[in-house]
Amino acid sequence: MKGWIWTILLLAAGGGGLWYYTRPLPPPATDTAARGRIPIPVVVADAETRDVAVYMDGLGTVQASANVTVKPMVDGPLLEMRFKEGQDVKAGDVLARIDPRQYQAALDQAAAKMRQDEANLANARLDLLRYQKLAATAYTSAQQADTQKALVAQLEAQVAQDLAVIDNARTQLGYTTIVAPVDGRVGIRAVDAGNIVRASDPSGLVVVTTLRPINVQFTLPQQGLAAVSAAMAAGTPEVLAMVQGAERGPPERGVLTVLDNVVDPATGTIKLKATFANAQLRLWPGAFVTVRLRVETRKDAVVVPPVAVQRGPRGPYLFVLNGAAATGLTVSRRNITVGHEDLAVAVIADGLKPGERVIVDGAARLSDGSKVSLVNPVGTSPAEDQAPRGPNQGNTARPRRPGTPG
């Protein structure tokens, strides 16, 4: 009796195991959706036409347009410093004064020497007139008149030399008043009043830095040389400089001024320099900035969000929405040619028309002919989202956010 019971239990367990491992499994949700039974939720966007600015991005360093170390030109005690550290100055403003007394004395001495030589010259000229008259009447020899004439020429040269000495002494005296050589902002002074300064001192007194305008030097890959050269030949390319930091604000706008004449063979890059007005002093010498150089503006380009573009073995493609909500929405996979792509837009050179609707979210689960349902983007109504679009609809450029380049 017990043997029959164990036999029945073993048969029941075997039959249950056989049913468990041979039962039909339901198809996965992704396969079901792919076969079109369940619409896949997606988000769409319109293909638009607008002018698109093509930029090349790089990293740059801010450089002062002028950086001058103010040094003394003569030796002497430093009497005073007439500026405050960090002060804005104009070219010609007095920055410091050196004791001028010894240089004033040298100037006075040179002036006195010239007056002495001028008196001797005047007397020699009178004697020359007398000798010339006596030589004409044979009361003196012609040789004596010629000797006097040579003496006059010698004294005239002495007076000319005295004038040069006076000019040099006046210049040395002028160097005792140190002025700003350029417009700019003074830094931290290196010497205090009361010290003895010398023209041979290597450090100087202070550095004057011109901040308006200001330059940014940056590099780009050598592959962009042709585009940059073409942009410079067509005009003055615009350059945007984005200040790095928490409070970046809008970019500073400037112009490209210099394209270096060589390619750096070590890095394969080209150097460029742009000039900015820097009215708000947001650019500071030595700081790093992100630079965007506009090399081209494509007119009436067909653009879509960059997330709509997919990559595959045959190149870039995207999914285009077909049909209407009443008859069922499907998508078509379409190969495209991307003319330009950045973080803001992707320019479609071929394969898409303005007004067509493309998938920007949910494309990973799609295949050609998949059924879809639209998910309402933020700020749109269900009726507007499900409404079919014609070929001429949706090609109005969306307003850009303030500060967006292009």
CATH code assigned at 113: 1.10.287
- DSSP string for residues in 263-325: EETTTTEEEEEEEE--TT----TT-EEEEEEEEEEEEEEEEE-GGG-EEETTEEEEEEEES-T
**In the 8-state DSSP scheme, what is residue 342?**
-
Same domain, 286 and 340: no
Residues 6+ apart with CB under 8 A from 349: 302, 336, 337, 338, 339
**What is the reported pLDDT for 20?**
62
Tell whether 358 is covered by a domain. yes
Tell whether 11 is covered by a domain. no
Instruction: Give the type of residue at 277.
Output: A
The rounded distance, in Å, linking the Cα atoms of 406 and 297 is 8
- Contact between 293 and 58 under an 8 Å Cβ cutoff? The reply is yes
The rounded distance, in Å, linking the Cα atoms of 176 and 77 is 10
**What is the reported pLDDT for 281?**
92
Query: CA separation (Å) from 69 to 121, 153, 191, 205, 213?
Result: 46, 46, 13, 7, 18
**In the 8-state DSSP scheme, what is residue 257?**
E
Helix axes 142-174, 101-136, angle to 10 degrees: 160
Query: CA separation (Å) from 275 to 155, 216, 278, 299?
Result: 57, 6, 9, 27
Same domain, 157 and 143: yes
Closest to 336 measured CA to CA, from 346, 326, 323: 346
Domain range enclosing 368: 30-52+300-386
Same domain, 211 and 191: no
Tell whether 400 is covered by a domain. no
Tell whether 406 is covered by a domain. no
**What is the reported pLDDT for 249?**
79
Query: CA separation (Å) from 178 to 51, 68, 204, 405?
Result: 54, 13, 11, 45
The rounded distance, in Å, linking the Cα atoms of 19 and 17 is 5
For residue 289, give the 3-state DSSP assignment: strand
Task: Count the alpha carbons within 13 Å of 164 in the hemisphere toward its beta carbon.
Answer: 6
Task: Count the alpha carbons within 13 Å of 38 in the hemisphere toward its beta carbon.
Answer: 10
Q: How many domains does the chain have?
A: 4
Same domain, 351 and 324: yes
Residues 6+ apart with CB under 8 A from 317: 309, 310, 311, 333, 334, 335, 336
Q: What's the token pair of residue 389?
A: 């679009």
Same domain, 194 and 243: no
Same domain, 239 and 321: no
Find where tokens 């890959």 sit.
Answer: 221
**What is the reported pLDDT for 402?**
37
Same domain, 376 and 227: no
**What is the reported pLDDT for 21?**
61
Find where tokens 């997606």 sit.
Answer: 42
Query: CATH code at 374?
Result: 2.40.420.20
Tell whether 15 is covered by a domain. no
Same domain, 282 and 250: yes
- Contact between 64 and 285 under an 8 Å Cβ cutoff? The reply is yes
Write phi, then psi, for 376 (nearest 5 degrees).
Answer: -70, 120
Q: What's the token pair of residue 78?
A: 């430093």
Summarize pLDDT for 123-160 with one digit per residue, the tens.
999 988 988 888 888 777 788 888 989 999 999 999 99
Same domain, 370 and 335: yes
Same domain, 195 and 272: no
Same domain, 316 and 346: yes
Tell whether 18 is covered by a domain. no
Alpha helices (H) in 275-353, listed in sequence order: none
Instruction: Examine residue 213 and say whether the peptide bond preceding it is cis (omega within 30 degrees of 0).
Output: yes
Q: Which residues pair with 252 in a beta bridge?
A: 241
Name residues of the chain where pLDDT drops below 70: 1-12, 14-37, 245-248, 324-327, 377-406
The rounded distance, in Å, linking the Cα atoms of 188 and 209 is 11
**What is the reported pLDDT for 342?**
85
Number of residues assigned to the chain: 406
Tell whether 394 is covered by a domain. no
What is the dihedral angle through the alpha carbons of 27, 28, 33, 37, rounded to the nearest 10 degrees?
A: 30
**What is the reported pLDDT for 389?**
44
- Contact between 220 and 270 under an 8 Å Cβ cutoff? The reply is yes
Query: CATH code at 88?
Result: 2.40.50.100
Same domain, 335 and 285: no
Tell whether 325 is covered by a domain. yes
Query: CATH code at 221?
Result: 2.40.30.170
